[in-house]
Structure 1
Amino acid sequence: MDRLKLMEKAPAKINLALDVLFKRPDHFHEVEMVMTTVDLADRIELSELKDDEIKILSHNRYVPDDSRNLAYQAADLLKKRYDIKQGVAIAIEKNIPVAAGLAGGSSDAAATLRGLNKLWKLGLSMDELAEIGAEIGSDVSFCVYGGTALAKGRGEKITHLPVPPSCWVVLAKPTIGVSTAEVYKRLNLSNVEHPNIRKMVEAIEQNNYEKVCQNVGNVLESVTLSLYPEVKHIKMQMKKFGSDAVLMSGSGPTVFGLIEHDSRMNRVYNGLRGFCDQVYAVRLLGERNYLE
């Protein structure tokens, strides 16, 4: 008998604005972020297994194939919570750079939740899947929905926003990894420039591209730039080549540029390819996932 298989896309996200308000008693940080998905995605293939186990399959040596993998954790959580006596193989085709500040692992986990909801006929709503996702990691709730949103709390309190103005996004990741924990540890909240989250939300609601560009901001950026000169260099070059707005995503090290016109996008993309291996030119997606 043929075993069931299904595919899910797991898009990357960028932070158009990221603010950290304070450290909470549970040691997490209270954040406010405006996030949106871009057209760069991992592909997740889920296949039923005869044996009652979870298998992670990936050709990328940086993707763990055990319980450290967030997609594994998503499958394990659903299996235990709903007493599923059915194995699954999770094949991850990695297109999003690893440890890049683009929520690749969180998006893989979210796609696994959506896919297993269908495969195992659990009948859960998107809100229920997002709630489960919050137990796995801060960005997983957002990635379950996709689209564009204001995220508060640890990142799990989601307010959906309209699709942002259409534009190109050029992403560039230097060949370094950044420790999110280290960046947060070095963050001094009394000595940073806080982005105006309200103005970014307004810009998206008004579909105003110029206003979006004027209000990008990331409170973590100054920490990562001081630790990693490579990130600072990419940011400077992206501005020099003519991006309309430039910002680091998440805790880094990926930097993105927003660009309205094709000709300028090509100039930025080609300029960065001269000294940076991982460069991508993609469109803003900004549209939500829905259950079929």
Structure 2
Amino acid sequence: MNDSSLRLPAPAKLNLMLRIVGRRPDGYHLLQTVFQFIDLCDWITLTPRQDGVIRRVNPLPGVPEDSDLAVRAARALRDACGNPLLGVDIDLEKNLPMGGGVGGGSSDAATVLLGLNQLWRLHFGLDEIAALGLNLGADVPVFVRGFSAWGEGVGEHLTALPDLPEPWYVVLAPHCQVATGAIFGAPGLTRDNKPITMVEFLRGNEENHCLPVVTERYPLVKEALFNLELVCGGSRLTGTGACVFAVLEYEHDARHAAEQLAAGEWQVFVAKGSNISPLHNRLGIEPG
């Protein structure tokens, strides 16, 4: 890493609930969800170039460079500013499980957008960057905004939830990747559930409407949920999975539970919830 490089976190998120309340004419589902960040992160090093080349310096298995959201984010930002000479080397340290429902690719894209906005000295505001991010994926805006949020629409209409508890989480990542498109396209998915209010969520309505379809199709997810319930007294699915999580108040309880779960068909992570993104803390910018 040279003196002009920037090394930044791309944090994971958990969906603390996920409701499917309708479907748009274009096929996208209307959702209600709650996002919270955790301190489990990918790490991205951005090294600026002046020759217009945007490239990934290390391979990401199964993801061609032209499909990589981090690369696409850099190209979108350069196109938006209109300077074809801006370039960057993107070095990704991949820690977040792919196909896990923790927002890895979307978070990587947001980190590249916000990091390059500083490195390239573009001075775009968060509204402009979030709009660019939405073209890359529905989850990108929450990572750009940087606050825990109630999400509606396809997940892009965000209302800050600054006072959520920030507990410890035990997260299991089963050794499988869930195909989100297949889950949302499943005939058995209920798409006309009743919307709820934020107050109802805060009182304990934490359903995930994708859960029945995911557990039917992915036995490893079902097994992870069962074992997490057994050890922690509760278990939930984030997004469409494959990751599942349990909420614990104290770090020592979370680490003890993780030890008990270490021998299963999954990776085990212990993470702290946060209502402000670690990325925004690192960059010294206010969520908004």
Same fold (TM over 0.5): yes
Distance 1:107 1:21 in 2: 25
What is the RMSD of the two structures over their aligned residues, measured on CA atoms? 2.1
Deviations along 1:136-159, one digit per CA (max 9) or x if unpaired, are: 101000111223101111111111
1:271 aligned residue: 260
The aligned runs of 1:114-263 (5 Å cut-off) are 114-186=114-186, 188=188, 190=190, 196-199=196-199, 201=201, 203=202, 211=203, 214-243=204-233, 245-263=234-252
Hey, what's the Cα distance between the residues in 1 that align with 2:178 and 2:43? 24
Aligned residue in 1 for 2:82: 83
Question: Which of 87-96 and 43-52 deviates more?
Answer: 43-52
CA displacement at 1:165 relative to structure 2 = 1.1
List alignment gaps of at least 5 residues for structure 1: 204-210
Mapped partners of 1:121, 1:228: distance in 2:
45
Q: Aligned to 1:218, what secondary structure does the other structure show?
A: coil
Tell me the matched-pair count. 279
Partner deviation per Cα, 1:16-56 (whole Å, 9 max, x = no partner): 01111112112211111111100101111111124311111
CA contact (8 A) 2:190 2:209 kept: no
Q: Which residue of 1 aligns with 2:285?
A: 291
Distance 1:90 1:152, change over 3 A: same
Give me the whole-angstrom Cα distance separating, in 1, the residues matched to 2:199 and 2:153.
19
TM-score normalised by length of structure 1: 0.88
Rounded to whole Å, the distance in 2 between the matches of 1:87 and 1:267 is: 46
Q: In structure 1, what is the Cα distance between the partners aligned to 2:242 and 2:215? A: 9
Q: Normalised by the size of structure 2, how large is the TM-score?
A: 0.90
Task: Give the deviation of 1:194 after TM superposition.
Answer: 6.1
Call closer, same or farther: CA 1:19–1:67 in 2, change over 3 Å.
Answer: same
1:58 maps onto 2:58 in alignment: yes
The structural deviation recorded for 1:287 is 1.2
Query: Identity of paired residues, percent?
Result: 31
Q: Relative to structure 1, is the Cα distance of residues 195 and 270 closer, same or farther in structure 2, using a 3 angstrom cutoff?
A: farther
Q: Which amino acid aligns with 2:117?
A: N
Question: 1:59 deviation in Å?
Answer: 5.6
Cα shift at 1:3 = 6.8
